Amino acid sequence: MLIMTQKMAEMWYSYEKVLAKKDPNIPLFQHIEDSLRLFKTIREFKKDSIKNICNKYLLSEEQFWKSAFFCVALHDIGKASIPFQNYILKKSKKVSHAFLSFWFTKQFCSDYIWVEGVRSGITKSIPIEGLIVANHHSPFRKGKFQNYENNNESPQAILEVIEKISKEIIQPKFEEYFEKPLKKSFIYPKTYAEIFNTYALADDFIRALGKQEAKKIRVLFANLKNILHYCDWYASERIFSFQYSPSIKEENLKMAILERIGKETFDWYKFQKDCRNYRGGAILQAPTGKGKTEASLLWAMGNGVGKKLLYLMPTMTTTNKMYERLKHPLVLGDDIGIVHGTSDYLLFSEIDYQDSWEFIWNSLFSRAFVHKSTILTVDQLLFTLFNWGRWDSRLSNATNSVLIFDEIHCYEPYTVALIVEMTRFLQSLGAIPLFMSATFPEGLKKFLKDELSLGEIPHDSSFDDLCRVGIEWRNKEEIYNAKDDIIKNYREGKKVLVICNTIRTAKEVYNSLQERIPLFDLMLFHSQFILYHRMMRENQLENLPMGGFVAVTTQVVEVSLDIDFDLLCTEMCPIDALVQRLGRVNRRGQKERAKVYIYKPTQSSYFVYPKDTIENSYNSLQNKGDEPTEKELLQVVNEVYADTDFGKELGNVRELIDYVQDNLSYVYTLSAKEKAMQRLTTRTSKYFTIDAIPKPFEEEIKKLDKKIKRVRYSVRVPLFKNSVNVFDFRDDLVIANVEYDDKIGVIFPKGRGIDEAII
């Protein structure tokens, strides 16, 4: 009776009626044909990258591309089964087509031996292609598909359809691409349990690999899977013509600059011309506001032919601003991705998506670094070391990229060590890095040069004598005493920037000004505003009205916001942070020297910055006089950080990476639980933070039609011992039991001192 039922179903699910996709209906044979059509395109894009990989690991390029071909050809062949066709027509519950596809892929690739595992004296080759196909829709983790272990039902593969696809599509394409005959026949599984036993055996043996073999299979897995994703994703959208890498044109960059500065002509600075002509990995030091971003793109223009462009920033705010700047049609254009903790919300809100799938694809392409260019926080690349998220696609695309690390001075030695290890690995497979900063300590330069064999863009001495500010030391007063100076300059029509070292100090300064300055000319800005209000403030800062204005902030304004105030009042802080603050006034050095009042730090500053670093910065800067030049500011940076051991963390970082990857057998994807248990982080911090919704917005988010819109109400709340009870954990939501004011931000319960150390 079962045989009759299956034959009847096979007649119903004929060749043309077996579907790969629904709404619109796309036959399975059509999707496989489309995917293999794209294989030729992707092979051309990836040829240099794969050649590097094969040379490094002593692999056969021809074998690699044959394996890639069969991953693409067979990834959806499991859809030719009665259970899946019933599911796609909404006649039954969901079943895994990838699990059945594993069976056929393993057979077709049985002759390709990449690595072998040994267990109990038995040696077996790892069917890496089959494992990739089995996990091409979801993360590869230990113990997957166990629900099939004792399932003795027939997979009910539609045999005639599978044979016809093999004969009419797969075989001719193989012979076209490789100019060799393909003679393969299928053995069909009797039960799901039979497939599971084969899969589980492969899963067991992958954990029996030696370390070097496991490292090799990690790179193979990532690159084969990434090629499959390119072919599958673009075929699903029926996109057959696209560019892989950005085309940066010097004349377009110039036009974009002229448009921004409102002039008819200009010339590149010397360091920008040097970047344009430099080939290879490098270091660039240049003052703030003088066009480092354009210089980096000129460098990428010469070094990034045929490569992706990854532009890495230290924070979500700086990433958002760089994304807005670089997606200009004359710069990198609209085929550009953005990736950070809340980037999906930004993508969702910037376009009125008529089709939810359009947003899903844009988000997917961003998170996998598929776009020609991607702007991202550095953490998104570093977590690739720990097999987090879409690590496989990210790894594969990053190996074939130019990497621009902006504001490299912002990172602690631990993060720098992670960056070095990530970059070293990517360099070995073809990536080319550029590290940039306005404040580049010589010790950090030497460390990066030595570890990564980098050159340096020649120093542009034309800026050495540039002096943008005149300092007035208020080193016996705290910044609370700045009130009279702030009000006086505001009334004279000046734009006054006040930068405090902690949120608590910023709030207190802001509150002291509210009665004397109209609220429409007064702003408080720090990290404890919900995302929506932070974005509003960023835009307001970059588009200030005529006349006087006062912004009271923390260090959230130090990098990448394109702001230019007339007067700065700031607490003393480490010299690298101070130089960034100085760059927020007279930004381009084309006005009279801006006045800067520097106050002694409040006691809460020492929760954020090391006391000795602040004191050393103060002593060294005072020795340079009240009108320091760019050269003198760099001298202070070098003096303060002369003894910093940037290499001290390398050993610890290498051990951590090795430990995590070994526990994941180098190919499994890290789960959120594993990440939390191991407390994996890319930054050192005195406190952890949790994304939460302040209590006053609880009812508002219930009215939202899409969960992603919740992000606009989220804020990262610090987790201290005395703040644990602040959080109310729901199934898929965290509510913070805090008050909120749209002008003040988060208001913590009194007496807890939670905001003492927050910036």
Return all residues near 676 (Cβ < 8 A) that are at least 6 apart.
none
Candidate ranges 616-620, 680-684, 699-703; pick with highest mean pLDDT: 616-620
The number of angstroms, rounded, from the C-alpha of 745 to the middle of its chain's C-alpha atoms is 27
Comparing 601 with 753, the larger pLDDT belongs to 601
pLDDT band of residue 422 (cuts 50, 70, 90) is: very high
C-alpha dihedral over 672, 675, 678, 683, to 10 degrees? -140
Q: Report how far residue 83's alpha carbon sits from residue 93's, in angstroms, rounded to the nearest whole number.
A: 9
> How large is the average pLDDT for residues 355-370?
85
Q: Is the pLDDT of residue 319 over 70?
A: yes
pLDDT digits (tens, 9 = 90+) for 139-165: 999 989 999 999 999 999 999 999 999
pLDDT score of 317:
85
Residue 134: which of 214, 57, 201, 65 has the closest Cα? 201
Q: At what angle do helices 391-399 and 211-236 cross, to 10 degrees?
A: 90
740 with 696: CB under 8 angstroms? yes
Closest Cα to residue 204, out of 115, 129, 143, 135? 143
Query: How many alpha carbons lie under 13 Å from residue 612 in its C-beta half-sphere?
Result: 5
Residue 200 pLDDT more than 80? yes
Nearest in space to 145 (alpha carbons), one of 131, 124, 162, 158: 131
Please state the rounded mean pLDDT for residues 623-641: 93
610 vs 558, higher pLDDT: 610
Nearest residue to 74 (alpha-carbon basis) of 172, 170, 192: 170
Residue 355, Cβ neighbours under 10 Å: how many?
8
Q: Is the pLDDT of residue 481 over 70?
A: yes
Looking from the CA of 357 toward its CB, the CA atoms found within 13 Å total 6
Neighbouring residues of 711: CB distance < 8 A, sequence distance ≥ 6: 342, 344, 345, 531
Reported as a pLDDT band with limits 50, 70 and 90, residue 542 is confident
pLDDT recorded at residue 563? 84
Q: Does the pLDDT at position 465 exceed 70?
A: yes
Q: Among 307-321, 516-530, 544-558, 729-743, where is mean pLDDT lowest?
A: 729-743
The DSSP element (H or E) to which 550 belongs, if any, is strand 549-553
The per-residue pLDDT for 3 is 43
Alpha helices by DSSP H, 641-697: 650-663, 672-677
Spatial neighbors of 759 by CB under 8 A, at least 6 apart, are 501, 502, 503, 526, 527, 554, 555, 556, 608
Higher pLDDT, 327 or 753: 327
Tell me the mean pLDDT in the region 373-395: 96
Instruction: List b or e across 699-722, with b for residues whose CB sees 16 or more CB atoms inside 10 angstroms.
Output: eebeeeeeebebbbbbbbbbebee
Mean pLDDT, residues 379-388 taken together:
96
Per-residue model confidence as pLDDT tens digits over 102-143: 999 999 998 888 998 888 888 889 999 999 999 999 999 998
Ramachandran assignment for 233, one of left (phi > 0), alpha (psi -120 to 50 degrees), beta (any other): alpha
Judge whether residue 661 has pLDDT over 90.
Answer: yes
Average pLDDT estimate for 610-639: 94
- Residues 516 and 489: their CA atoms lie apart, in Å, by 12
Torsion of CA 198, 202, 204, 205, to 10 degrees: 140
* pLDDT value of residue 716: 86
> pLDDT, tens digit, for every residue of 5-56?
455 454 567 888 999 998 889 999 999 999 999 999 999 999 999 999 999 9
What the block records as the tokens of 398 is: 């990053």
C-alpha–C-alpha distance, residues 284 and 460, integer Å: 10
How many percent of the chain have pLDDT more than 70?
94
At residue 560 the predicted structure's pLDDT band, cuts being 50, 70 and 90, is low
- Distance, in Å, from the CA atom of 626 to the CA atom of 357, rounded to the nearest integer, reads 58
The amino acid present at 335, given as its one-letter code, is D
Higher pLDDT, 465 or 758: 465
Q: Radius of gyration over alpha carbons of the chain, in Å?
A: 29
Q: Is the pLDDT of residue 437 over 50?
A: yes
Rounded to a whole number, what is the largest CA-CA distance in the chain? 96
Rounded Cα–Cα distance for residues 337 and 326 (Å): 10
Rounded to whole angstroms, the Cα distance separating 546 from 568 reads: 18
Comparing 188-202, 227-241, 667-681, which segment has the lowest mean pLDDT? 667-681
Q: Give the Cα separation of 460 and 437 in Å (integer).
A: 14
Domains of the chain as residue ranges with CATH: 2-236 (1.10.3210.30), 250-462 (3.40.50.300), 469-628 (3.40.50.300), 685-757 (no CATH)
pLDDT in the model for residue 754 = 55
Distance CA 17, CA 25 (A): 9
**Nearest C-alpha neighbor of 195 from the set 223, 250, 157:** 157
Q: What is the pLDDT of residue 723?
A: 61
Mean pLDDT value across the chain:
91
Of 233, 219, 291, which is closest to residue 261 (Cα–Cα)?
291
Question: Which pLDDT score, from 0 to 100, does residue 2 have?
Answer: 38
Which is nearest to 562 in space by CA: 548, 541, 590?
541
8 A C-beta contact, residue 542 and residue 562: yes
Average pLDDT over residues 668-673: 87
pLDDT at 4 over 50: no
Integer Cα distance of 661 and 657 in angstroms: 6
For 68, the token pair is 């890639």
The answer, yes or no, to whether residue 244 has pLDDT greater than 70, is yes
| Distance of alpha carbon 219 from alpha carbon 30, whole angstroms | 30
Residue 443 pLDDT level (bands cut at 50, 70, 90): very high
Cis bond leading into 24, ω under 30°? yes
Task: Answer with the residue of higher pLDDT: 751 or 72.
Answer: 72
Beta bridge partners of 311: 375, 404
At 1, the pLDDT band (50, 70, 90 cuts) reads very low
For the ranges 25-39, 250-264, 525-539, the maximum mean pLDDT occurs at: 25-39
What does the pLDDT read at residue 8? 47
Terminal alpha carbon distance of the chain: 71
Count of CB atoms situated within 10 Å of the CB of 493: 11
Strand partners, 313: 377
Q: Backbone phi, then psi, for 184, in 5-degree steps?
A: -135, 145
Q: Name the pLDDT band for 323 (thresholds 50, 70, 90).
A: very high
Cα separations (Å) of 575 from 310, 410, 525, 578, 602? Answer: 28, 12, 22, 5, 16
Q: At what angle do helices 171-178 and 61-74 cross, to 10 degrees?
A: 160
pLDDT at 652 over 70: yes
With both helix axes pointing from N to C terminus, report the angle between 61-74 and 97-108 in degrees, rounded to the nearest 10: 150
- Tokens at 230, concatenated: 């390119």
Please tell me whether the overall predicted TM-score, pTM, comes out greater than 0.85 for this model.
Answer: yes
Is pLDDT above 70 for 759?
no
Which of 37, 25, 389 lies closest to 231, judged by CA? 37
Residue 756 confidence (pLDDT) above 60: no
Q: Which has more confidence, 322 or 352?
A: 322
